[in-house]
Amino acid sequence: MIEMRAPIVSVCIANYNGEEIIADCLDSVLMQKDAPRFEIIVHDDASSDNSLEIIRKYGSVRLIASAENVGFCVSNNRMAEEARGDFLLLLNNDARLFEDSLTTLYGESNLYDHKAILGLPQYEASTGNLIDRGEYLDFFASPIPARSEEQRDLAMIMGACMWIPSRVWRQIGGFPEWFVTNAEDVYLCCYARALGYKVFVPKRSGFYHIVGYSLGGGKAAGRRLGISLRRRHFSERNRLLVQWVFYPAWMIPLTFMANLIGLLVEAALLILVNRRIDFAKFIYVESIRSAWRARGHAIASRRRIATVRRISAWAFFTPFKLIPQKVRLLVQLGLPRAM
């Protein structure tokens, strides 16, 4: 429950135009049972709907109302800077926690001597179906859902519900603001693993998630995957940056060329199916150009991480899978459609 004493956990919720969902998210936090002391911080990213009116009805919530839209990374960094808890729980506004979520996360963190990045089993909000229990990565830095209860070696936790000790967050420097949005959770988990921290999802508890509510896309519509231009642009851009920061130097030309060939083939197919030339320009051309313009940030991060890395390249790539996620989705769902 929320108390006047210093909180143990700071629940940080980034909100943008979430008037239809933010109350359910906040209520799910407030209804936690036997939870460690917590505070709730909401960053509203210049919403144009009635989000602020709804949030202000919750007197216990600390609200940061941004005058301009700054994006997901900056929103979370601002909340983390204001947080008083020893632990951060980064939570999407389109997520709803199970009532034992905070108790479970705190207990599991204690088992790892508070040296772990934790998530929870993720369930689709509309169907209740399991989405994942954390993620592996392929060698293009695309997340691959892990669903086995016995999985112990994960590559990352989705930022929709991520538990991280505040000291680890500060050690990493938070989300890279030059990412803007998307794949910042990949970056943070790769950084944490390079430092030797565990990435883990417990078997119990969980959260419901309305996948793709904010950026659109990222989920199946019927039997086909829907994508949005903005989501896909930043996904392609930032996955390239992740590779440039964390992969051994000899791998980068290989993965970049493989990426480029794959993108050219994919662009041709998607233009043919969706009849939209803007796919090629914004996703497959501008994403690479934008990544190249951000290479200075990637180089600086790479040099900084090289001085503190504690695991070998072999250990880093242990939770990676050879078959690319795009191939898996193509086999399962066919070519995606624009949303």
- Could you give the percent of the chain with pLDDT greater than 90? 75
Whether residue 142 has pLDDT greater than 70:
yes
- The structure tokens 């690479």 sit at 288
Nearest partner of 2 among 11, 148, 111, 16, judged by Cα: 11
What domains appear along the chain, each with residue ranges and CATH number? 9-209 (3.90.550.10), 219-338 (no CATH)
The 3-class secondary structure across the chain, one letter per residue, is: CCCCCCCCEEEEEEECCCCCCHHHHHHHHHCCCCCCCEEEEEEECCCCCCHHHHHCCCCCCEEEECCCCCCHHHHHHHHHHHCCCCEEEEEECCEEECCCHHHHHHHHHHHCCCCEEECCCEEECCCCCEEECCEEEECCCCEEECCCCCCCCCCECCCCEEEEEHHHHHHHCCCCHHHCCCCHHHHHHHHHHHCCCEEECCCCCCEEECCCCCCCCCEEECCEEEECHHHHHHHHHHHHHHHHHHCCCCHHHHHHHHHHHHHHHHHHHHHHHHCCCHHHHHHHHHHHHHHHHCHHHHHHHHHHHHCCCCCCHHHHCCCEECCCHHHHHHHHHCCCEEC
Whether residue 246 has pLDDT greater than 90:
yes
CA distance 245 to 40: 33
Q: pLDDT, tens digit, for every residue of 10-26?
A: 999 999 999 999 999 99
Residue 229's pLDDT band (cuts 50, 70, 90): confident
Residue 5's pLDDT band (cuts 50, 70, 90): confident
Residue 221's pLDDT band (cuts 50, 70, 90): very low
pLDDT of 285 reads 83
Strand partners, 338: 227
Tokens of 202: 């417990």
Whether residue 172 has pLDDT greater than 90:
yes
- Sheet with 135-138: strands ordered across: 143-145, 135-138, 320-321
Residue-averaged pLDDT of the chain: 90
CB proximity list for 98: less than 8 A, separation 6 or greater: 28, 120, 205, 206, 207
pLDDT of 301 reads 97
Whether residue 220 has pLDDT greater than 60:
no
Q: pLDDT, tens digit, for every residue of 41-68?
A: 999 999 999 999 999 999 999 999 999 9
pLDDT of 82 reads 97
Mean pLDDT over residues 265-285, rounded?
70
Q: pLDDT, tens digit, for every residue of 182-216?
A: 999 999 999 999 999 999 999 999 999 998 666 54
Tokens of 122: 């993720």
Task: Confirm whether pTM is higher than 0.85.
Answer: yes
